[in-house]
Amino acid sequence: VPAKYTDTPSRLTFYDALEERLRALPGVTAVGGTTRLPLGSTNTTTYVDVEGRPVPRAEMPEVEMRRAVFDYFTAMGIPVLRGRAFIRDDNLNAPEVAVINAALAARVFPGEEPVGKRVRFAAGASQQPWMTIVGVVGNIKHASLEEVPRPELYITYRQGPPVSPFVVIRTTGNAVDLAAPVRQAVRELGANPPTDVRPMSAIRSGSVASRRFVLLLVGLFGVLALGLAALGVFGVMTLIAAERTTEVGIRLALGATPSQVLGLVVGHALKLAGTGIVAGAVVALLLRPVLKAQLFGVGAADPLTYLGVALALTLTALAAALIPARRAMRVDPAHALRN
């Protein structure tokens, strides 16, 4: 907000003009803002006092407080589960209102209807106004993707506009293409244009960059381990085929076909692979709590992942056994029996 807007009414006038300009940009479907951006900023925690429930401060619920600017919940895709979101009539002339998330509703009002209840900030509680809860919204993850959703309380910018909020825009087109028009719209209003305009996907990706690097290393070690496993299967099957040369010669002399010899060697390789797959699956299931904290978008017991790994190991075992099996198929029965 430009420095010339020193009081609340003038700041609200600036926000109204900014919202109008941003909504007019091509492809924009919703405009919002907040003081604390998910995965991209720090959190502000405070305690709240619930009307009719006098308790010591240590027992008061701790919440993360955020200001919602414009149509923030729509812009971020946060569903309204009960009641309503903020409206323009929630202004300086109206009673103080708040919106809470589902985690706070479950924490403070289990089995109750939270809409219509009143809360206030515990700091200087006697001077703090009571805020009527008008809605409950879905949980989102603010600090990290693996965190358990925390209790959150939102207040509207129309009852106390922030000085430097984050602006959130939902668009049907490429979000990156809006960077220049957004900067121009802000500049035309006399404010400093934003220096960091990024799609939410980039913010989400940046929040897991260090973990992605670790998982990349784990993946590389996994590929190395798979290669060593293939080399091990190849060595074992080569040794077994060499030690069973006489047996193979007898089988061929008694009428066994090359395809039956192939099945003999490959079957042994599949038994080795099957044993490894079962053992690995058991260990992976036991380590689910550890794996769950490192995975996003896929469960630690995802059946498709397990099937894919099993298929990869099976194909690796088959490929490693192919050369020893082909050698066994070409054994000369007479030569094998003489030796």
Band (293; pLDDT cuts 50, 70, 90)? low
Question: With bands split at pLDDT 50, 70 and 90, how would you rate the model's confidence at 107?
Answer: very high
Work out the average pLDDT over 118-142.
Answer: 87
The torsion angle over the Cα atoms of residues 85, 190, 44 and 150, rounded to 10 degrees, is 40
The answer, yes or no, to whether residue 210 has pLDDT greater than 80, is no
Mark out the alpha helices in the chain (DSSP H runs). Answer: 8-23, 72-76, 102-108, 179-188, 200-207, 209-243, 245-253, 258-286, 288-292, 303-329, 333-338
Q: How far apart are CA 133 and CA 135, in angstroms?
A: 6
Report whether pLDDT(231) > 90: no
Neighbours of 279 (CB within 10 A): 10
The proportion of the chain whose per-residue pLDDT surpasses 90, expressed as a percent, equals 23
Cα–Cα distance measured from residue 71 to residue 90, given in angstroms and rounded to the nearest whole number: 13
* DSSP per position, 234-255: HHHHHHHHHHTHHHHHHHHHTT
Confidence of residue 100 (pLDDT cuts 50, 70, 90): very high
Closest CA to 127 of 46, 49, 11, 12: 49
Task: Let me know: does 75 contact 32? Beta carbons within 8 Å.
Answer: yes
d(CA 81, CA 149): 16
pLDDT: is 294 or 96 the higher one?
A: 96
pLDDT score recorded for residue 317: 83
Residue 219 is predicted with a pLDDT of 84
Residue 319 to residue 226: CA distance in whole angstroms? 12
Asked whether 97 and 134 are in contact (CB, 8 A), the reply is yes
pLDDT digits (tens, 9 = 90+) for 61-93: 889 999 999 999 999 999 999 999 999 999 989
Average pLDDT over residues 152-172: 89
What pLDDT was estimated at residue 73?
94
Residue 339 pLDDT level (bands cut at 50, 70, 90): low
Integer angstrom CA distances of residue 286 from 129, 290, 292, 301, 307: 51, 9, 11, 10, 17
Retrieve residue 174's tokens.
Answer: 């490429």
Residue 202 has pLDDT above 80, yes or no: no
What would the mean pLDDT of 314-339 be, rounded to a whole number? 77
Contacts (Cβ under 8 Å, ≥6 apart) of 41: 166
- pLDDT band of residue 260 (cuts 50, 70, 90) is confident
